[in-house]
Amino acid sequence: MTAELTRLGASALAEAIASGQSSAEEVTRAHLDRIEAVDEAVHAFLHVSTESALDQARAVDRARALGDAPVSRLAGVPLALKDIVVQAGVPATAGSKILEGWIPPYDATVTRRLVEAGVVILGKTNLDEFAMGSSTENSAYGPTRNPWDLSRIPGGSGGGSAAALAAFEAPLAIGTDTGGSIRQPAAVTGTVGTKPTYGGVSRYGVIALASSLDQVGPCARTVLDTALLHEVIAGHDPLDSTSIPQPVPLVVDAVRRGQADGVAGMRIGVVSQLRGKGYQAGVLESFDAAVATLAAAGADIVEVDCPHFEYALAAYYLILPSECSSNLARFDAMRYGLRVGDDGTASAEEVMSRTRGAGFGAEVKRRIILGTYALSAGYYDAYYGSAQKVRTLIKQDFEKAFTAADVLVSPASPVTAFAIGEKVNDPLAMYLNDLATIPGSLAGIPAMSVPSGIASDTGLPVGLQIMGPALGEERIYRVAAAFESAYVAAHHRSVPDAAPELEVGVR
Tell me which of 67-76, 127-136, 399-408 is least confident: 67-76
List phi, psi (to 5°) of 477: -70, -35
Q: Which residue has the higher pLDDT, 345 or 395?
A: 395
| Spatial separation of the C-alpha atoms in residues 124 and 161, rounded to whole Å | 9
Tell me which of 131-135, 181-185, 273-277, 314-318 is least confident: 273-277
Task: Give the model's pLDDT for residue 507.
Answer: 41
How distant, in Å, are the alpha carbons of 15, 42, 68, 74, 451 from that of 62?
17, 33, 9, 16, 37
Q: Which residue has the higher pLDDT, 70 or 219?
A: 219
Residues 6+ apart with CB under 8 A from 126: 43, 44, 45, 46, 83, 95, 136, 139, 141, 142, 143, 144, 159, 160, 163
Within a domain: 372: no
Average pLDDT over residues 398-405: 98
Question: Among 171, 169, 216, which residue's Cα sits nearest to residue 194?
Answer: 216
In the predicted structure, residue 503 carries a pLDDT above the cut 70: no
Q: What separation, in Å, do the N-terminal and C-terminal C-alpha atoms of the chain show?
A: 16
What percentage of the chain exceeds 90 in pLDDT?
90
Within a domain: 489: yes
496 pLDDT band, cuts 50/70/90, is: low
Task: Give the model's pLDDT for residue 443.
Answer: 98
Residues spanned by the domain of 70: 2-309+391-496
Instruction: Quote the mean pLDDT of the chain.
Output: 95
Average pLDDT over residues 58-71: 92
Catalytic residues: 82, 157, 181
Question: Among 187, 138, 147, which residue's Cα sits nearest to residue 166?
Answer: 147
- pTM, two decimal places: 0.96
Within a domain: 374: no
Average pLDDT over residues 245-267: 97
Tell me which of 1-5, 73-77, 474-478, 495-499 is least confident: 495-499
Average pLDDT over residues 111-124: 98
pLDDT in tens, 433-468: 999 999 999 999 999 999 999 999 999 999 999 999
Average pLDDT over residues 326-352: 91
Do 27 and 87 contact (CB within 8 A), yes or no?
no
Task: Give the model's pLDDT for residue 354.
Answer: 94
In the predicted structure, residue 498 carries a pLDDT above the cut 70: no
Rg, C-alpha atoms of the chain: 22
330 pLDDT band, cuts 50/70/90, is: very high
Within a domain: 367: no
Task: Give the model's pLDDT for residue 227.
Answer: 98
What percentage of the chain exceeds 70 in pLDDT?
96
3-state secondary structure 94-162: CCCHHHCCCCCCCCCHHHHHHHHCCCEEEEEECCCHHHCCCCCCCCCCCCCCECCECCECCCCCCHHHH
504 pLDDT band, cuts 50/70/90, is: very low
Within a domain: 368: no
Within a domain: 301: yes
How many other CB atoms are there within 10 angstroms of residue 399's CB atom? 13
How many other CB atoms are there within 10 angstroms of residue 226's CB atom? 30
| Spatial separation of the C-alpha atoms in residues 182 and 440, rounded to whole Å | 12
In the predicted structure, residue 233 carries a pLDDT above the cut 60: yes
Task: Give the model's pLDDT for residue 497.
Answer: 55
CATH number where 487 lies: 3.90.1300.10
505 pLDDT band, cuts 50/70/90, is: very low
- What single-letter DSSP state applies at residue 423? S
Length reported for the chain: 507
pLDDT in tens, 8-55: 999 999 999 999 999 999 999 999 999 999 999 999 999 999 999 999
* b/e sequence 95-130, b meaning 16+ C-beta within 10 Å: bbbbbeebebeebbbbbbbbbebbbbbbbbbbbbbb
Within a domain: 382: no
Number of domains in the chain: 1
Within a domain: 330: no
Tell me which of 92-96, 174-178, 338-342, 359-363 is least confident: 338-342
